[in-house]
């Protein structure tokens, strides 16, 4: 469909842009990152889970995942105490997303949010925090660095192990999109809305300069052993 709008006489006109006031910037940047539930344990081994929309894979090799949390929250404190966390990715299904909302409630320190939400803890393979059985994908992580600013804390972790439901990937590890059903949280201003992220499209590269070939080779080199 053309980007151009039509005026009253049917002639094509350019779409207008409207400036947004600062109070709408947050909602304009929708959706956020992949919806995630991050599990941690505290120094005594008590399980904690919290929901996140700021979770993003930020490095391909080694695979590193970042998220931001509040400095005062249990996740941040547990990450600082143990240096570990697990990223559990839910699918675009109402039942699990309702549980994501429960896990995101401000339960007191020491409360196991998985039990509150009726989710099942599955022991991890390398880290102390459990995986969540109802999530199709899990990334066990060890902290690389954290940074505190404002009242926030950014956490970057190295993935040290990853698992996926067997019927959700092909033999080369590519995900089966319509089974995994990736989902983003629309953002706090949207309160209870999630966006499906599994409509995919392969697109051409209508540019034949040397940069196109160089980019292609660089991607091939990065993944040539895979």
> Is residue 102 classed exposed, middle or buried when 0-12, 13-18 and 19+ CB atoms within 10 A define those classes?
middle
CA-to-CA distance for 91 and 97, rounded, in angstroms? 8
Query: Which segment (3-11, 68-76, 115-123, 215-223) binds ligand FMN by CB under 6 A?
Result: 68-76
183 belongs to the binding site for ligand FMN (CB under 6 A) = no
CB of 102 to ligand FMN, least distance (A): 8
135 belongs to the binding site for ligand FMN (CB under 6 A) = no
Q: Choose which of 46, 101, 116, 179 interacts with ligand FMN (CB under 6 A).
A: 101
CA-to-CA distance for 187 and 26, rounded, in angstroms? 8
75 belongs to the binding site for ligand FMN (CB under 6 A) = yes
CA-to-CA distance for 166 and 209, rounded, in angstroms? 41
Q: Choose which of 106, 123, 204, 209 interacts with ligand FMN (CB under 6 A).
A: 106
**Binding residue count for ligand FMN, defined by CB under 6 A:** 19
54 belongs to the binding site for ligand FMN (CB under 6 A) = yes
Q: What phi and psi, each to the nearest 5 degrees, are found at residue 100?
A: -60, -40
71 belongs to the binding site for ligand FMN (CB under 6 A) = no
CA-to-CA distance for 221 and 218, rounded, in angstroms? 5
CA-to-CA distance for 133 and 135, rounded, in angstroms? 5
Q: Give contact residues for ligand FMN (rule: CB under 6 A).
A: 35, 48, 50-54, 68-70, 73-75, 100-101, 104-106, 185
């Amino acid at each position: 469909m053309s980007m151009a709008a039509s005026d009253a006489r049917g002639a094509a006109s350019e779409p207008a842009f409207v400036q947004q006031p600062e109070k709408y910037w947050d909602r304009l940047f929708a959706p956020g990152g992949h919806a995630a539930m991050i599990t941690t344990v505290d120094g005594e081994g008590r399980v904690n889970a919290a929901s996140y929309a700021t979770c993003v894979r930020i490095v391909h090799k080694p695979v590193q995942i970042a998220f931001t949390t509040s400095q005062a929250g249990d996740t941040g404190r547990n990450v600082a105490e143990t240096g570990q966390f697990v990223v559990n990715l839910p699918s675009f299904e109402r039942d699990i997303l309702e549980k994501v909302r429960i896990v995101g409630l401000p339960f007191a320190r020491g409360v196991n949010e998985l039990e509150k939400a009726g989710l099942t803890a599955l022991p991890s393979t390398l880290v102390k925090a459990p995986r969540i059985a109802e999530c199709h994908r899990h990334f066990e992580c060890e902290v690389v660095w954290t940074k505190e600013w404002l009242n926030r804390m950014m956490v970057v972790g190295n993935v040290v192990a990853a698992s996926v439901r067997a019927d959700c990937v092909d033999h080369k590890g590519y995900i089966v999109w319509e089974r995994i059903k990736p989902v983003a949280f629309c953002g706090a201003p949207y309160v209870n809305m999630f966006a499906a992220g599994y409509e995919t499209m392969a697109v051409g590269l209508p540019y034949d300069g040397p940069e196109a070939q160089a980019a292609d080779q660089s991607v091939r080199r990065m993944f040539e052993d895979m």
